[in-house]
Chain A
Amino acid sequence: MAGLRFDLRDAPEGAAELRAEVRAFLAEHAPNFTPEIRARSWMGFDRDFTRAVGAKGWIGMCWPREFGGAERSFLERNIVLEEMLAAGAPVGAHWIGDRQSGPLILRLGTEEQKRHFLPRIASGEYAFCIGLSEPDSGSDLASLRTKAEKVDGGWKLNGRKIWTTFGHLCDWMIALVRTSPAPEGGARHIGLSQVLVNLRAPGVNIRPIRDLVGEKGFNEITFDDVMLPEDALVGQEGAGWAQATSELAFERSGPDRYLSSHPLLEAAMTTLKQDNAAAPALGRQVARLWALRNMSVAVAGMLEDGQDPVRQAALVKDLGNDFEQALPNVVRDLIATEDMPEDMRRMHAYLTQIVPTFSLRGGTREIMRGIIARELGLR
């Protein structure tokens, strides 16, 4: 069960200073954060804000300077992420690029790919989305059918990706696609590859899907004979499954897996300051937040050490999702929605509707628990 072990990490040197700098930056922008924006958390998409974050050097901040990074540590980056989430800043335009597309390109990309993409992600120019799910492939991802055929001068892409967050607003997608048929009777993971898709390319058709809040958050993206250049391939042909899986430690490990509802908790704290009866329930939330933060920082420390904490990340995501997902209901037990101040009521309304997604995105609760069960030796 070594994969379920966590070692505490101390704050990096200069943590308080960095945090203060991020807070000062956020205080400047906070007047623009409506309750809905704060409630959206990392699902808020704002190019201008992202460019401002990029100008501060806080996107891709662990990457080498030659690729637009700041060569800071994972623990320092974690501080920036925490502050952005705690404030409910609209970080969606760079979140995916910073969290996983960039690190993937840095780790496996060609020199040209690194030179082209990383500085543009770091400046906020390029927004990335993830191309994993398909209409018939969700948790059973290896059953995906979108395929890229090798043709003269590159690849021809056909198929369809769905539930792509901000696909309609993004510039690039890293898609997991089939580049050769799965061996007869063999593992379906074989023959998958990751490719860079320019979402403005001819043959890419993006259809926004309205979510239950009435917003166009996610999309269905179809590819009809989309021509990709040869260098669209990221990493090794056929190694896409392993690449995508190891990317998941980045995708699942961050504070975005327990802080998505945080602005509502702060609003509840402020509103219920004088409410003696609310103290015990608030105390439990505080304790859980504190414990989750210690776990999350421990995972950031493992990434810093170059480990691959896939299992710990799944575990913290599972516990964190439970916490952030339960919060709206915890809060409405303490104060009736009609008694909430306007701002809080709006955040609460949005989160009530959207929290079911927390234990879906990035891998469902059931998949997370399956990963833990495997580590326990049950599968």
Chain B
Amino acid sequence: MASEIATELAEQVDRALADAADVSTLRDLEAGNWPAATWDALVALGLNGALVPEAAGGVGLGFSDVAPLMEVLGRHAAPVPLAESIFANALLSAAGITPPEGVISFGAGQGAIAWGRHASHIALLDGARIALYPAAALAWEVGGNIAHEARDRARIIGAPVAEAVLPNGWGAEAALLATALMRAGQIAGAMQAALALAVDHANTRKQFGRPIGRFQAVQQQLAVFAAETSAASVAAAAAARAVDRRGLAAAAFEIGCAKITVGEAATRGAAIAHQVFAAMGITEEHQLHHFTRRLWSWREEGGSEAFWAKRIGQEAQALPGALWPFITAREEEITP
């Protein structure tokens, strides 16, 4: 469970985003404008180093502490890469590289890098090897996910300012696992936002002389949405807890299970949200799509449900014994 300080930080970010970002910020972002004021407001909270140990000049939070923060970012469809910066800082610091100030993102191999063109530095991972490039050392082939969040491919045209290898606990898949963990929390948050919008709409939109939320058919759908939202939040938190306990690499099972859970939840939730909003929710003008398009996008990032399902299934098939003892032992054979 997240500590008190983490809850407070999440609330601070919540307030900062409520003040410094709104639907017009999201629209601007889609038009290609970097919301500098939003970033400045968030970076002022000093959270880039949330996962960096205090000894290395960071805030020293755990992954469980950061999970509620990821939810807040998702809840606001945060138009800046605070999540990416927090995880890039963590990866760099783990490898012994002092993270630079500013917007940092990370990526692996030839894959698209979230917010690449907006970053002042990028941590590029190749297995467990990590290299820190300044923006000037990279050329971008710009792209985006279906929510029009920047997803850019980098071509290296200059030298890195630092290179190192991640320690064992982080492993060769650190970029994938970190991305999955981030997106799991953000999906839970975006679902909370979409659910709140849908419930509010159901309580105000009238048809047949009463709010549509009075109809059982609508209530039952929203109940499913709420249940999936809770499942997503629990899954993201449980994956983060596993990372705190065993390290990133050894928590791949939980991260994968969480990513499948949130992905399935996102699919079901987004569909219900749109069903409740009917035609209104499809309009560019309405804010719902800022959340649902992110849900559809984030399902793909850090491994889709299909990607993880195959892998988790294979891992389960390869178990020497039954499934149940494996699942319970992962929670219990730990010396805290």
Q: Which of B223, B237, B312, B322 contacts A8 (CB 8 A)?
A: B237
Chain B residue at minimal CB-CB distance from A15: B332
The A-B contact count (CB < 8 A) is: 164
Instruction: Please indicate the chain B residues that have their CB under 8 angstroms from the CB of A370 in the complex.
Output: 216, 219-220, 223
In the complex, A6→B319 CA distance in Å? 30
Instruction: Please indicate the chain A residues that have their CB under 8 angstroms from the CB of B313 in the complex.
Output: 278-284, 286
Q: A278-B313, A369-B223 are in contact. Are A287 and B324 (CB under 8 A)?
A: no
Q: Which of A6, A82, A283 contacts B316 (CB 8 A)?
A: A283
Instruction: Please indicate the chain A residues that have their CB under 8 angstroms from the CB of B238 in the complex.
Output: 8, 290-291, 294
Which B residues from 201 to 255 make CB contacts under 8 A with A?
202-203, 213-214, 216, 218-220, 222-224, 226-231, 233-235, 237-238, 241, 254
Per-residue CB proximity of A265-297 to B under 8 Å, as 1/0?
110011011111011111110111111111100
Most buried by A among B216, B227, B257: B227
In the complex, A75→B323 CA distance in Å? 21
In the complex, A116→B54 CA distance in Å? 59
Q: How far, in Å, is A145 (CB) from chain B's closest CB?
A: 25
Which A residues from 169 to 194 make CB contacts under 8 A with B?
none
In the complex, A282→B314 CA distance in Å? 8
Are the C-beta atoms of A86 and B324 separated by less than 8 Å? yes
Per-residue CB proximity of A1-41 to B under 8 Å, as 1/0?
10011111011000110010001000000000000000000
Instruction: Please indicate the chain B residues that have their CB under 8 angstroms from the CB of A278 in the complex.
Output: 313, 317
Residue B306, interface by CB 8 Å:
yes
**How many residues of A are in contact with the other chain, CB < 8 A?**
57
Residue A256, interface by CB 8 Å:
no
Residue B264, interface by CB 8 Å:
yes
Instruction: Please indicate the chain B residues that have their CB under 8 angstroms from the CB of A82 in the complex.
Output: 328
Instruction: Please indicate the chain B residues that have their CB under 8 angstroms from the CB of A23 in the complex.
Output: 325
Instruction: Please indicate the chain B residues that have their CB under 8 angstroms from the CB of A378 in the complex.
Output: 199, 202-203, 213-214, 218-219, 222
Are the C-beta atoms of B324 and A286 separated by less than 8 Å? no
Residue B327, interface by CB 8 Å:
yes
Are the C-beta atoms of B233 and A6 separated by less than 8 Å? yes
Instruction: Please indicate the chain A residues that have their CB under 8 angstroms from the CB of B327 in the complex.
Output: 286, 289-290, 293
Q: How far, in Å, is B262 (CB) from chain A's closest CB?
A: 9
Instruction: Please indicate the chain A residues that have their CB under 8 angstroms from the CB of B331 in the complex.
Output: 10-11, 15
Q: How far, in Å, is B146 (CB) from chain A's closest CB?
A: 23
**How many residues of B are in contact with the other chain, CB < 8 A?**
57
Q: How far, in Å, is A77 (CB) from chain B's closest CB?
A: 15
Residue B329, interface by CB 8 Å:
yes
Are the C-beta atoms of A377 and B312 separated by less than 8 Å? no
Residue A373, interface by CB 8 Å:
yes
Q: How far, in Å, is A337 (CB) from chain B's closest CB?
A: 21
Per-residue CB proximity of B250-294 to A under 8 Å, as 1/0?
000010111011001000000000000000000000000000000
Chain A residue at minimal CB-CB distance from B327: A290
In the complex, A15→B336 CA distance in Å? 13
Residue A262, interface by CB 8 Å:
yes
In the complex, A1→B195 CA distance in Å? 11
Q: Which of A16, A286, A291, A369 contacts B234 (CB 8 A)?
A: A291
Q: A11-B331, A19-B332 are in contact. Are A287 and B312 (CB under 8 A)?
A: yes
In the complex, A281→B233 CA distance in Å? 23
Residue A302, interface by CB 8 Å:
no
Chain B residue at minimal CB-CB distance from A318: B227
Instruction: Please indicate the chain B residues that have their CB under 8 angstroms from the CB of A16 in the complex.
Output: 329, 332-333
Residue A105, interface by CB 8 Å:
no
Are the C-beta atoms of B234 and A8 separated by less than 8 Å? yes
Residue A376, interface by CB 8 Å:
yes
Residue A298, interface by CB 8 Å:
yes
Instruction: Please indicate the chain A residues that have their CB under 8 angstroms from the CB of B308 in the complex.
Output: 283, 287
Are the C-beta atoms of B234 and A298 separated by less than 8 Å? yes
Are the C-beta atoms of B322 and A266 separated by less than 8 Å? yes
Residue A315, interface by CB 8 Å:
yes
Instruction: Please indicate the chain A residues that have their CB under 8 angstroms from the CB of B260 in the complex.
Output: 283-284, 287-288
Residue B309, interface by CB 8 Å:
yes
Q: How far, in Å, is B197 (CB) from chain A's closest CB?
A: 12
Most buried by A among B220, B241, B258: B220
Residue A248, interface by CB 8 Å:
no
Residue A53, interface by CB 8 Å:
no
Are the C-beta atoms of B316 and A269 separated by less than 8 Å? yes
Are the C-beta atoms of B317 and A282 separated by less than 8 Å? yes
Residue A48, interface by CB 8 Å:
no
Instruction: Please indicate the chain B residues that have their CB under 8 angstroms from the CB of A294 in the complex.
Output: 234-235, 238
Instruction: Please indicate the chain B residues that have their CB under 8 angstroms from the CB of A279 in the complex.
Output: 309-310, 313-314, 317
In the complex, A312→B226 CA distance in Å? 11
Q: A6-B230, A6-B233, A315-B230 are in contact. Are A379 and B257 (CB under 8 A)?
A: no
Instruction: Please indicate the chain B residues that have their CB under 8 angstroms from the CB of A5 in the complex.
Output: 230
Residue A132, interface by CB 8 Å:
no
Are the C-beta atoms of A291 and B213 separated by less than 8 Å? no
Residue B1, interface by CB 8 Å:
yes
Instruction: Please indicate the chain B residues that have their CB under 8 angstroms from the CB of A282 in the complex.
Output: 313, 316-317
Q: A272-B317, A283-B309, A284-B305 are in contact. Are A372 and B223 (CB under 8 A)?
A: yes
Are the C-beta atoms of A286 and B258 separated by less than 8 Å? no
Most buried by A among B306, B312, B329: B312
Q: Which of B195, B229, B322, B332 contacts A11 (CB 8 A)?
A: B332
In the complex, A292→B314 CA distance in Å? 20
Are the C-beta atoms of B234 and A295 separated by less than 8 Å? yes
Chain B residue at minimal CB-CB distance from A79: B328
| A–B complex contacts, Cβ < 8 Å, 21 sampled | A4-B226, A86-B324, A262-B324, A265-B323, A266-B324, A279-B317, A280-B313, A281-B313, A284-B313, A286-B312, A287-B258, A287-B260, A288-B260, A289-B327, A291-B235, A295-B231, A369-B223, A376-B195, A376-B223, A376-B226, A378-B213
Give 6 new A-B contacts, CB below 8 A, not counting A11-B332, A283-B260, A378-B213: A4-B226, A15-B331, A286-B327, A289-B327, A298-B234, A376-B219
- Kindly list the 5 A-B residue pairs having the minimum CB-CB distance in the complex, ordered from nearest: A283-B313, A279-B313, A283-B309, A369-B223, A373-B219
